[in-house]
Amino acid sequence: QVQLVESGGGLVQPGGSLRLSCAASGSGLFISDMGWHRRAPGKQRELVATITRGYSTNYADSVKGRFTISRDNAKNTMYLQMSSLKPEDTAVYFCAVRNYFSNYWGQGTQVTVSS
């Protein structure tokens, strides 16, 4: 089993920044792909960014140039640095990881962008 703990969400003004973290724990971890997803009120969940174990990244068009995904393989931790935040970035952000052949999800952390 893999446990995921997210942190770093909160309330921020438009144009501000936040950094999300997702820490994975469990026995015998070998996490390959990691990613962030979000679900805005009244909308379906969407992929925000992904990162492979070899640090290849992919971003949704809506966040390119503003968000940066990174990871620390030694700590089994992933980050999402969010800058130039917009009200439309308001959502619950979920981390997801692939450990061997299974996928695991975090509980989500709320990000609210509002003045």
Residue 1 confidence (pLDDT): 86
How many C-beta atoms surround the C-beta of residue 9 within 10 A?
Answer: 19
Query: In terms of DSSP bridges, do strands 57-59 and 3-7 run parallel, antiparallel, or are they unpaired?
Result: unpaired
| Confidence at residue 85, expressed as pLDDT on a 0 to 100 scale | 98
* Size of the chain, expressed as the number of residues it contains: 115
Please write down the long-range contacts of 46-50, taking CB distance under 8 Å and 24 or more positions apart. Answer: 48/80, 48/93, 49/80
Residue ranges of the chain with per-residue pLDDT less than 50: none
**Residues 1-28 pLDDT 10s:** 899 999 999 999 999 999 999 999 998 8
Average pLDDT over all residues of the chain: 96
DSSP 26-61: -TT--EEEEEEEEE-TTS--EEEEEE-TT--EEE-T
CA distance 89 to 102: 28
